[in-house]
Amino acid sequence: MIFVGLVFDSGDVKNLIPIKTKEDLFPDPRNLPQFDLSILENELIRYKKYVVSYKIVDVEKPKSDSGGVSETPERFLDGYLETIKAILSSDLMIVSEGIMNFYAHVPINEDGETITVQKSLYSSHPIFKYPLTFQSKNSFNEFMHLARLFAVYEYLKKRRLLRRYINSYVKNTGDNLLHVTRIFWKSPNLQHYTDSFVGYPDIIVKTRTEFKKISLVPGREINIFPIARFCLGITDGLKNESCIQSSNRRPFGTLLTGKGTFERCLSCREKSIHIRCLYQHPKCDGSQVLCHNNSFAGNVCNGNFSIYLSIFGDILKVGRCIFSRTVGRLLEQSAFDGLIFYPINSIDAAHNIEREVATYLRGQVKRLNRYKINRVARRVKTEDRFEHVKLLSKNNGSSERGDAYEGIKHLLGKTNRPEIYSLLALESRKIDLAENWFIDENLEIDQTVLSKEIQFKRIKGKIEGIVGPFLFVNKKAYNLNNLQGFVVE
């Protein structure tokens, strides 16, 4: 049971008139919003400033001797009392000034019938030491109307997180659901890349029956609503497959409800252990095949890689990637340009070189200050990437960046470390990715806010910009990487 307690200044009642009631917003109580609560949220935002204190109390439903839920008057009275105590203990000012009256919603059962609690008026229940007034449907005042809206809002927020509710909805909903599996930038051959436009990125989505691509094109309208994250499935090479647990009842596989960073369910993680070597220290050099995936070891681990350096604000990022995906990988990260060394055979060699380069340049960071580089990292936070995009969008890049890459290359040549020495013996080139930064000239990027949460946030409007993983819509920027794994309407 969810009890919601609100405290108002009695003089604010005039500010709540006219207020839309629960029945105004939802005439059919069986047809409440399922996931998108924006209608209710917009109504509540108008009145939140008049709420002096707000408390939510969850009360476990007591069981009767037969195992069913016990709907005794005491059950509700206990809930009212706990809510009142939570409010009084939360704000000393309220206690000192006193509360004129407490209004309590007369409880009803699942059939809408009133559960009488007044028969306990002359009992010893401690709730009645407070000035309590019960209100029912025909006697609600404005305070109670607003409290009812807050109560249904808290209920709907909890309901839309329940596994059984989400799975039931996905199972019974038609073809308007898509499972976002990947954001994909095209990656032309690095040796033939002409610092030009490579094309718009695609969202790779799975319907109930197939995979397909949806291009993100500036100027087009978008309207999606992320509901919940589901398993991305097992991976064969670099191709996404379906979750092992997929079925007619679970068309998108296993629902992921944890707060962790896992993109796959436990069963699929065990089958995709080899993929981790792309993002962390490889378990072997590819020849031992410790993951027992011969195809991945032969096509990826023993294939060619590149080492790249790219500047994000005052951060120099050192990274590695599969050689054929070099341009696409830099685009995915919102890189404006980069210095690339290639080819490096085997994932293990690439990892060792990446680590040595990063370690060496960290020790030389004072010499990099002249290029406005203050940090060297192997990972760059989303917030830092976003600030980098905003800065370069205003300045249209800088000629100093070319000097910085030349200076970095010169600095690498001053060490005899074997890994770096072998790196400098490879092919290298600086590439420019500016042609793939798409920002509407009318977009006031300084006023754009980065939306960190993506679940239950409707992304709707004209696409005003696309830079790397950032999608600009209605003065907000969304990190599309956060969308991976979500089933969206």
Q: Give the tens place of pLDDT for each residue, 334-349.
A: 999 999 999 999 999 9
In the numeric block, which tokens belong to residue 210?
């197939």
Residue 431 has pLDDT above 60, yes or no: yes
- The pLDDT score that the predictor gives to residue 63 is 61
- The pLDDT score that the predictor gives to residue 335 is 97
Q: Are strands 239-240 and 235-236 parallel, antiparallel or unpaired?
A: antiparallel
SS3 string, 126-195, reads HHHHCCEEEECCCCCCHHHHHHHHHHHHHHHHHHCCCHHHHHHHHHHCCCCCEEEEEEECCCCCHHHCCC
Strands (E), 362-406: 375-377
Q: Is the peptide bond prior to 73 cis by the omega test (within 30 degrees of 0)?
A: no
- Tell me if residue 324 falls in helix, strand or coil: helix
375: Cβ–Cβ under 8 A, 6 or more apart, which residues? 314, 315, 316, 365
Residue 449 has pLDDT above 90, yes or no: yes
pLDDT tens, 350-371? 999 999 999 999 999 999 999 9
Give the range among 7-21, 82-96, 278-292, 337-351 with minimum mean pLDDT: 82-96
**Which of these, 449, 451, 458, lies nearest to 37 by C-alpha position?**
458
For 120-141, b/e burial (b = at least 16 CB within 10 A) is beeeebebeeeebebbeeeebe
Residue 72 has pLDDT above 90, yes or no: no
- The pLDDT score that the predictor gives to residue 98 is 73
- The one-letter amino acid code at 278 reads L
Q: Decide: 143 and 13 in contact? Cβ < 8 Å.
A: yes
Q: Hey, where are the domains in the chain?
A: 2-160, 303-436
- The one-letter amino acid code at 481 reads N
Q: What is the mean pLDDT of the chain?
A: 89
Alpha-carbon distance 143 to 100, whole Å? 13
**Which of these, 383, 401, 386, lies nearest to 445 by C-alpha position?**
386
Distances (CA, A) of 192 to 126, 187, 306, 321: 81, 11, 15, 18
Distances (CA, A) of 416 to 156, 368, 419: 63, 19, 9
- The pLDDT score that the predictor gives to residue 418 is 93
CA angle, 201 as apex, 197 and 467 as ends, to 5°?
75
Q: What is the DSSP letter of 61?
A: P
DSSP 422-452: HHHTSEEEEEE-GGG-EE-TT--GGG-EEE-
pLDDT tens, 391-428? 998 876 666 888 999 999 999 999 989 999 999 999 99
Residue 466 has pLDDT above 90, yes or no: yes
Q: 13: phi > 0 → left, psi -120 to 50 → alpha, else beta; which?
A: alpha
pLDDT tens, 292-322? 888 888 888 889 999 999 999 999 999 999 9
- The pLDDT score that the predictor gives to residue 68 is 57
282: Cβ–Cβ under 8 A, 6 or more apart, which residues? 301, 347, 348, 351
pLDDT tens, 197-249? 999 999 999 998 888 999 999 999 999 999 999 999 886 545 667 899 999 88
**Which of these, 439, 37, 458, lies nearest to 223 by C-alpha position?**
458
Local confidence band at 462 (pLDDT 50, 70, 90 cut-offs): very high
Q: What is the DSSP letter of 386?
A: H
Q: φ and ψ at 149, to 5 degrees?
A: -65, -40
Q: In what order do the strands lie in the sheet with 304-312?
A: 375-377, 315-322, 304-312, 337-345, 427-432
- The pLDDT score that the predictor gives to residue 74 is 80
Q: Decide: 147 and 105 in contact? Cβ < 8 Å.
A: yes
In the numeric block, which tokens belong to residue 463?
């696409």
Alpha-carbon distance 272 to 144, whole Å? 53
| Residue the block writes with tokens 């919003």 | 33
- The pLDDT score that the predictor gives to residue 38 is 95
Q: 239: phi > 0 → left, psi -120 to 50 → alpha, else beta; which?
A: beta
Local confidence band at 259 (pLDDT 50, 70, 90 cut-offs): low
Local confidence band at 90 (pLDDT 50, 70, 90 cut-offs): confident
Kind plus residue range of the DSSP H or E element containing 4? strand 2-8
